[in-house]
Amino acid sequence: MALLFSTHFRYVALFISLLWATTAFAQEQLPSNFTTLAPYIDFVANQKVQQKHVIALPKSHYLLVYVSKERTEDKDNWSMSPADGTVAKIFVYDTQQHQIDQNHTTHLNKVLGAEQFYNYQFCGGLGSFESWKVEGTKVALLQSYSPANDGVACKTYLYYDGKIITATNLANPPSTTNTLGSEVGKERNKKNAEALLLLQNNKATEAIKIWEELYQNIQQGSYAAEGKIDEYLNNLGFAYWKTKQYSKSEKILLECLQRFPNRHVLYINLGDLYRDMSKKAEAKKYYEKVATSSLSRKQKRYAKNQLKKL
């Protein structure tokens, strides 16, 4: 596309850029010396940088700088989530000293679980970064992780208390319901989480046993409607696919889609399944549905790339 703009469009673009710069969501400028600092150089290690995002931390003289690069280790355990293939870190830059504050940086990344690649409780590490923005005196960090389900979203508040930069996760407040049904649901959700960790640690057989038990519970057991049923079905179908049990995977994923048509991550799972079953027409059908779905930009890019390969 030729880079030709009329005077009118140049003025419009300038107006929009100035308007954006005045909002609380404006991207701060990367410090001029940042890429020359040793902690940054050591992290990048001559690899290609994928993203850099900078935001000012309210009530402090610090900038938070998010940097991500490609991850190449442990590929056999990766899920479909792009977060598994990303190494990321948040650097804390001191605008008074013009240096990266190593103590704050180390503490913040530990609290956020920067390298917890397969841990859904940390949204799969910092590779699942979606965006951040200033909300009052805090920075709201938004993440989205979809290893074998699309229900893991985190909103974490980062703030400076005068001594340390820390984080508070308010995305999943504890339930105050004490009914027996809710307790059954909690126990099933706990087992689902255990199965996810097993799957991510290359113990698919053990994970499948747990999900098959949950599947039986929601088919005919007491309190059949309790718990995250759509996740159990989707995760079982995903695990069958991962272990190349394609017929079983197809049955469960289609059942899940029938019962939960708004669970759009199924489009990707079914697309991957039919791709591996060499059913290109079916794979194309589901990959194409992703474009108009509620899935993330990363997931839409994934589906688009798969379509090109068919």
Alpha-carbon torsion angle 35, 38, 43, 46, nearest 10 = 70
pLDDT of residue 221: 58
Query: Per-10-residue mean pLDDT for the chain, 310 residues long?
Result: 38 39 56 96 94 95 96 80 91 97 95 86 89 93 76 83 82 44 82 92 94 87 78 94 96 92 92 96 96 90 94
243-269: buried (b, 16+ CB within 10 Å) or exposed (e) per residue?
Answer: eebeebbbebbeebbeeeeebbbbbbb
Which residues are CB-neighbours of 110 under 8 A, at least 6 positions away?
A: none
Q: Is-contact 275 294, C-beta < 8 A? A: no
d(CA 287, CA 139): 35
The predicted structure's pLDDT at residue 151: 54
Is residue 92 within 8 A of residue 101, CB to CB? The reply is yes
Q: Can you give the pLDDT at residue 281? A: 96
Domain boundaries, given as residue ranges, for the chain: 24-169, 180-309
What is the CA angle 168-174-175, rounded to 5? Answer: 160
Rounded CA gap, 8 and 307, in Å?
Answer: 38
Q: Are 120 and 151 in contact (CB under 8 A)?
A: no
Residue 92 has a CB neighbour count (10 Å cut-off) of 25
- DSSP secondary structure of 36-95: GSHHHHHHHTTPPEEEEEEEEPTTSSEEEEEEEEE--TTGGG--S-GGGGEEEEEEEEET
- List CB contacts of 149: < 8 A, sequence separation 6 or more: 196, 231, 234, 235, 238, 265
Measured between alpha carbons, how far is 275 from 223 in angstroms, rounded to an integer?
36
The reported pLDDT for the residue numbered 280 is 96
> Could you tell me where the beta strands, DSSP code E, fall in 136-279?
138-145, 152-160, 165-169
Neighbours of 241 (CB within 10 A): 23
DSSP assignment letter at 131: E
* CATH code of the domain occupying 180-309: 1.25.40.10
The gap between the terminal CA atoms of the chain, to the nearest Å, is: 26
Cβ atoms of 108 and 149 within 8 Å: the answer is: no
DSSP state of 146: -
Q: Give the side-chain half-sphere CA count within 13 A for 13.
A: 6
